[in-house]
Structure 1
Amino acid sequence: MKKSHFIYICLVLLVLIGALFVFARRSQETKTTQTSTASSHFTSKTITHDFGTTKLDKEPKKIVILNNLYGEILLPLGITPVGATTAQVGSQEFSTLFKKTFKKAEVVSVGWQKTPDLEKIAELEPDVILMTVHQQDLYDKLNQIAPTIGYQINTESNWDFRDTALKVADIFDKKDQMQKAIDELDQKQAKFAQKVKATYGNQRLMYVRVTEKDIRYYGYGRFGFLYETYGFNRAESFNPSDMYQLIDSEKLLQLNPDLLIVQADSEDLLKTKLKESSVWGQLKAVQNKKVIYADYSTYMLGFGLMSQDAIMSQIEKEWLD
């Protein structure tokens, strides 16, 4: 090989090596910039909540939630917890709203919300824990595991989830995103209420829960949204400070609602306490096929963005289509 050719090849190789070096350096700088931008998006903050103050120095990515409502706040924001409580005693099953998402993401069950498993929570090494009044006595122990933030969610009255949703979203610098989701829900509920009034006018609704001990007609408190928000008419008014009143099958026939939503704690209870009773076939709602069977975890444990959407969707499909 001539000396000039050898020198030429060497020069070409040097140029290629230099180009590769510059490309690699710029790629690394880009990655560094992206990482810096992602981490700088979260601002260190001190959260004042219903159980104290909690400082967060870094963006919380591993989150454990101890109430269903937090799932309804986080999932619409694109955040999936690493651990969550179940809402029914003795059950490891997540709410119907979360079952598919949580299973796919391998979210760990950390026990019933009133008695969460602290060891399981610690094993997950969370960046933050979201709690409610149900875990108030455990606040100090939870805080030793990870920074803990909590709100006094009162599910016994007609509480408004919107305020809590905005506070929680603000923890993750996503308050604007949550406000947009709330605005969209408000618009959807307003249109839904118009459709209910146009379709059913003065017809009356009852939400009935069948438990092992009794039959309950819910008209206020947590189920106020059926009337105040959705625009249905109560089958009967009673003391607004009482969430429900106890009834029997005869009282149900006396009220004889046009529309009936039934949530039974088991299929057997639904059968023995209602469907096999002498009055069931006499009810207008039954005769006109205006009975909706409600999922416990969605209706009884919900009331956030996701449950409201699911409830409206079911009612629309069965009664308004």
Structure 2
Amino acid sequence: MKKSIWFIVLACFMMFLAACGNNSEDASASDNSNESSEQESEASDESSQTVSVEHELGTTEVPKNPEKVAVFNYGTLSHLDDLGISVEGVAKGTLPSYLSQYDSEEYTNIGSLKEPDFEAIHEMDPDVIIMAGRQGEAYEDLSDIAPTVYISTDTEKLEESYKNGLQTIGEIFGKETEVEEKINQFEETATSVQDIAQNSDKKGLVVLSSGGKLSAYGKGSRFGIIHDVFGVIPVTEEIEASTHGMEISFEYISKQNPDYLFVIDRDQVVGGESAASEVLDNELVNGTNAAQDENIFYLDPEIWYLSSGLPPVGKMAEEIKTAIQE
């Protein structure tokens, strides 16, 4: 009798354990299912998210982490490249050598800096188009194809607008941390250039050479970063801050007598025939402090002239630093 009771108790206990095991498995399966559903929901939410970008030409809703990216301006393209962001469409018209990797069939040619190829862009069907000053007139037409963002810099507030533009890119592509690192790195380099410039009493003049003609650029101008951010003392405060600079002569350079002469040779990147080094090789220029002390610096026009949008200011800072450090 006792044995029978023990058998019954044991059997009930075994049944209880089995039931508990099944409940545990069911609960685990339910938890896994819920977790999977949550992950799928999060992924779905992320893919449907947009970023509202306010820019000079309006406000654009851009998909978060867009996959098919079309870029017109080379300055911005260089930053996307530095951040490891893939692009599909590039304006290859005057692609600078430091971005030569994009001159391949892997990337769709969407036209030039001045003339978008609307047919190619339509066929590409981008998720976002990034443009700058030279494409401003095509903004409405490009916006009809895909969300279009105008990212450029304000020469009067260059450092601030540069940071804002980079932060916009970081927000769109989920690269906020990398962007902040990039900004910090630029600030460190810029500070080191400022230290060199401010510990010197030498004054500089920035000149663009184009077709044998010369234009000077001062503070708040297209190339004013040399004075406004890098701290090089301008040889004069009277240069007009216009888009195309102030037309000058050899006599003007001789009269101002700069200690540093920074030259951007436009002809070098647009196929012109008047090399700046030949244009400036004359008695008036050769008599300046800059020439006498071998401080005439021919800056890379691919970086300084072609790089619209968000200019590669890190490369600019390094070039000025190399030029003025003793």
TM class by shorter-chain length?
A: 0.7 to 0.9
1:77 aligned partner: 83
Q: Out of 53, 65, 69, which is 2:71 matched to?
A: 65
Q: Out of 294, 314, 321, which is 2:319 matched to?
A: 314
Asked if 1:47 is matched to 2:47, the reply is no
Supply the distance in 1 between the matched residues of 2:124 and 2:308 (Cα, whole angstroms). 28
Supply the distance in 2 between the matched residues of 1:135 and 1:214 (Cα, whole angstroms). 26
| Alignment of structure 1 residues 233-272 onto 2, 5 Å | 233-238=233-238, 241-242=241-242, 244-266=245-267, 268-269=273-274, 270-272=276-278
Quote the sequence identity (%).
22
- What's the TM-score once normalised by structure 1's chain length? 0.74
Supply the distance in 2 between the matched residues of 1:97 and 1:182 (Cα, whole angstroms). 20
Is the partner of 1:98 in helix, strand or coil? helix
Deviates more, 1:131-140 or 1:56-65: 131-140
Question: RMSD value over aligned CA atoms?
Answer: 3.2
- Structure 1 gaps, min length 5: 1-31, 87-91
| Alignment of structure 1 residues 25-174 onto 2, 5 Å | 44-50=49-55, 51-56=57-62, 59-86=65-92, 92-100=93-101, 102-103=102-103, 106-151=106-151, 153=152, 157-159=156-158, 160-174=161-175
- Structure 2 gaps, min length 5: 1-35
Per-residue deviation, 1:164 = 1.7
Supply the distance in 2 between the matched residues of 1:52 and 1:183 (Cα, whole angstroms). 29
The one-letter amino acid of 2:128's match is V
Residue by residue, what CA displacement relative to the aligned partner does 1:175-195 show, whole Å, maximum 9, x if unpaired?
232122112211221122112
Supply the distance in 1 between the matched residues of 2:43 and 2:104 (Cα, whole angstroms). 25
Matched residue count:
280
Residue by residue, what CA displacement relative to the aligned partner does 1:297-317 show, whole Å, maximum 9, x if unpaired?
211243777722222222333
Residue by residue, what CA displacement relative to the aligned partner does 1:187-221 show, whole Å, maximum 9, x if unpaired?
221122112333xx111111111112621111122
Supply the distance in 2 between the matched residues of 1:147 and 1:304 (Cα, whole angstroms). 17
- What's the TM-score once normalised by structure 2's chain length? 0.73
The one-letter amino acid of 1:222's match is R
Greater C-alpha Rg: 2
Per-residue deviation, 1:55 = 4.0
2:12 aligned partner: none
Supply the distance in 2 between the matched residues of 1:281 and 1:138 (Cα, whole angstroms). 44
Residues 249, 64 of structure 1: alpha-carbon distance in 2 compared, 3 angstrom cutoff: same
